[in-house]
């Protein structure tokens, strides 16, 4: 977990906190709350709950983390492709660069990710020795597809579009729910 914070500078978790602050501020104050550099109580609560859930999942998963974590990280980031494809960009700045400006469509944008996923799945199919672990791995893939579509869909509908903060929230929420689902499957 700490390495993820260090690599991204806590960017996704900052987005999670800002998004929760915005959602609970209400529709009229949503963008203003997300823009505010101060973290609100809902943002802090979201970060604490997510962190505790992630720690509990890591403790439960333990040595299977090598199979689980890459797939959770993949789907967390892949969820943003659905987000950008489906929703309009929202900004609190008048002139802001949107992900949509350079968007080439879902098929082109997801091609490299899908190739990576297929290579990873093929490697796992060859290296996993237990049928039970293999079945859990395949279930995790299906859960990933569902979550990486549904979580950005829920967030996008709730806030009325997407922005960098919402994308960060989507990454963290998909990763966490996937780890939680796998921990339950153990």
pLDDT of residue 119: 92
Say if CB 67 and CB 137 are below 8 A apart: yes
Nearest to 27 by CA among 157, 119, 147: 157
**What pTM was estimated for this model as a whole?**
0.89
pLDDT for 96 beyond 60: no
Residue 93: pLDDT above 90? no
Measured CA angle at 6 (ends 16, 115), to 5 deg: 75
Total tally of structural domains belonging to the chain: 1
Position 12 scores a pLDDT of: 94
- The predicted structure's pLDDT at residue 141: 87
- What pLDDT, in 10s, does the model give residues 45-82? 999 999 999 999 999 999 888 878 888 999 999 999 99
Domain that holds residue 168: 2-185
Residue with more model confidence, 18 or 2: 18
Residues in the chain, overall count: 186
Q: How far apart are CA 34 and CA 16, in angstroms?
A: 10
- Distance, in Å, from the CA atom of 185 to the CA atom of 6, rounded to the nearest integer, reads 29
Distances (CA, A) of 162 to 4, 31, 126, 139, 149: 23, 11, 38, 28, 14
- Per-residue pLDDT tens digits for 104-154: 889 999 999 999 989 988 888 888 788 887 887 888 889 999 999 999 999
Answer for the pair 154, 76: CB distance below 8 angstroms, yes or no. Answer: no
Asked whether residue 177 carries a pLDDT value surpassing 90, the answer given is yes
Residue 14: its pLDDT value, please? 94
pLDDT digits (tens, 9 = 90+) for 148-173: 999 999 999 999 998 989 999 999 99
Model pLDDT, residue 185: 83
């Amino acid at each position: 977990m700490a390495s993820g914070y260090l690599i991204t500078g806590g960017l996704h978790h900052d987005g999670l906190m800002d998004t929760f602050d915005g959602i609970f501020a209400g529709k009229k104050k949503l963008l203003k709350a997300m823009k505010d550099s101060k973290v609100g109580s809902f943002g802090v609560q979201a970060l604490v709950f997510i962190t505790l859930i992630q720690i509990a999942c890591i403790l439960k998963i333990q040595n299977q983390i090598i199979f689980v974590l890459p797939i959770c990280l993949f789907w967390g980031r892949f969820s943003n492709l659905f987000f950008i494809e489906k929703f309009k960009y929202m900004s609190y700045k008048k002139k802001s660069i949107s992900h949509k400006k350079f968007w080439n469509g879902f098929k082109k944008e997801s091609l490299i990710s899908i190739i990576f996923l297929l290579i990873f799945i093929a490697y796992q199919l060859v290296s996993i020795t237990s049928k039970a672990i293999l079945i859990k791995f395949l279930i995790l893939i299906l859960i990933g597809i569902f979550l990486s579509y549904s979580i950005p869909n829920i967030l996008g509908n709730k806030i009325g579009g997407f922005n960098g903060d919402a994308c960060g929230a989507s990454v963290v929420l998909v990763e966490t729910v996937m780890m939680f689902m796998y921990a339950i499957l153990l």
